[in-house]
């Protein structure tokens, strides 16, 4: 919430009165009392929460995590996702869908763990180092605006966690480039298709439609996430936080002394 709030405040503030269409990928509120709806669901913005099944904070349940046929190409100004990409097996396909539904000049903001305990729902596949999310953005043809990986503690009392954040925009493309990217996206989806026929390959000759761009203008990095991180660290620089760090480190040390060595990682927790 803190990082996504910093993104919205920095990059969308001048568009508070513009009718932005905003998609939240992996929006289900599972065991949480907060959601990104609190940040983005405000008039005249239109917020849509997307996930795989009906749940709190889900407006649209898609049938296929890698082929959002329920959504048209270039239909959203902003696509956000937080704490979802680590659970997606084929993240390179999902990021292609993010790029597909973004309007020209639209912005994507992805937040996912850079470190943390295994937490399957139903899978837990990925952690992201500094080059991870930027590589995904490039793969999808998105232009990176800002990238930040947390090198300090994410939360007081939960010191094993850190997060990676990447913000990128969908660039302007010629008609030929749009057609090539549409074919590439369809070709990538064949990777997970149970059966493959010649008809599938022939169907890659796709004619992409030209659509109006987003009201968002191209923008350079505003250093929003790293700036918020500096503010947060300054606010946490208290004796109470430092005592908490000592407490959790001592707990880890006692656990290391008491538990069998083979169980120290708690991978199934």
pLDDT at 247: 83
pLDDT at 155: 58
Torsion angle of the four alpha carbons 106, 226, 224, 166, in this order, in degrees rounded to the nearest 10: 10
**How far is it, in rounded angstroms, from Cα 2 to Cα 16?**
19
Question: What mean pLDDT is reported for the chain?
Answer: 89
Range list for CATH 3.40.50.150 in the chain: 2-172+213-237
111 contacts 81 by C-beta, under 8 angstroms: yes
Peptide bond into 146 cis (omega under 30): no
For the cut 80, the answer to whether the pLDDT of residue 154 exceeds it is no
Is the four-CA dihedral 34, 100, 166, 244 of positive or negative sign? positive
Bigger pLDDT: 167 vs 244: 167
Q: What is the 3-state secondary structure (H, E, C) of the chain?
A: CHHHHHHHHHHCHHHCCCCCEEEEECCCCCCCCCCCHHHHCCCCCEEEEEECCCCCCCCEECCCCCCCCCCCCCCEEEEEEECCHHHCCCHHHHHHHHHHHEEEEEEEEEEEEEECCCCCCCCCCCCCCCCHHHHHHHHCCCEEEEEEECCCCCECCECCCEEEEEEEECCCCCHHHHHHHHHHHHHHHHHHCCCCCHHHHHCCCCCCCCCCCCCCCCCCCCCHHHHHHHHHHHHHCCHHHHHHHHHHHHHHHHHHHHCCHHHCCCCCC
CATH level 2 (architecture), domain 2-172+213-237: 3-Layer(aba) Sandwich (3.40)
How confident is residue 153, by pLDDT bands cut at 50, 70 and 90? low
Bigger pLDDT: 209 vs 145: 145
Q: 22 is written with which tokens?
A: 């905003």
Using alpha carbons, list the distances in angstroms from residue 106 to 22, 100, 258: 10, 11, 52
pLDDT at 156: 55
pLDDT at 268: 43
By mean pLDDT, which of 20-34, 158-172, 235-249 is the weakest?
A: 235-249
Bigger pLDDT: 263 vs 118: 118
């Amino acid at each position: 919430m803190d990082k996504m709030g910093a993104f919205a405040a920095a990059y969308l503030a001048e568009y508070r009165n513009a009718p932005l269409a905003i998609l939240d990928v992996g929006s289900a509120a599972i065991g949480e009392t907060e959601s990104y709806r609190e940040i983005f669901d405000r008039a005249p913005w239109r917020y849509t929460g997307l996930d795989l099944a009906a749940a709190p904070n889900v407006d649209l349940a898609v049938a296929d995590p890698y082929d959002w046929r329920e959504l048209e190409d270039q239909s959203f100004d902003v696509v956000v996702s937080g704490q979802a990409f680590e659970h997606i097996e084929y993240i390179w396909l999902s990021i292609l869908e993010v790029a597909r539904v973004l309007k020209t000049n639209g912005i994507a903001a992805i937040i996912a763990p850079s470190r943390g305990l295994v937490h399957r729902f139903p899978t837990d596949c990925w952690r992201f180092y500094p080059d991870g999310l930027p590589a995904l953005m490039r793969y999808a043809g998105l232009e990176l605006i800002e990238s930040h990986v947390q090198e300090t503690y994410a939360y007081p009392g939960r010191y094993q966690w850190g997060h990676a954040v990447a913000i990128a925009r969908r660039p302007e493309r010629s008609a030929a480039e749009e057609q090539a990217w549409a074919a590439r996206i369809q070709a990538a989806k064949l990777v997970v298709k149970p059966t493959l026929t010649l008809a599938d390959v022939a169907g890659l000759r796709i004619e992409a439609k030209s659509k109006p761009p987003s009201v968002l203008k191209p923008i350079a990095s505003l250093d929003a996430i790293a700036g918020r991180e500096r503010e947060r660290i300054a606010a946490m620089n208290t004796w109470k936080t430092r005592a908490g760090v000592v407490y959790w480190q001592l707990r880890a040390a006692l656990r290391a002394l008491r538990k069998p060595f083979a169980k120290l990682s708690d991978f199934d927790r």
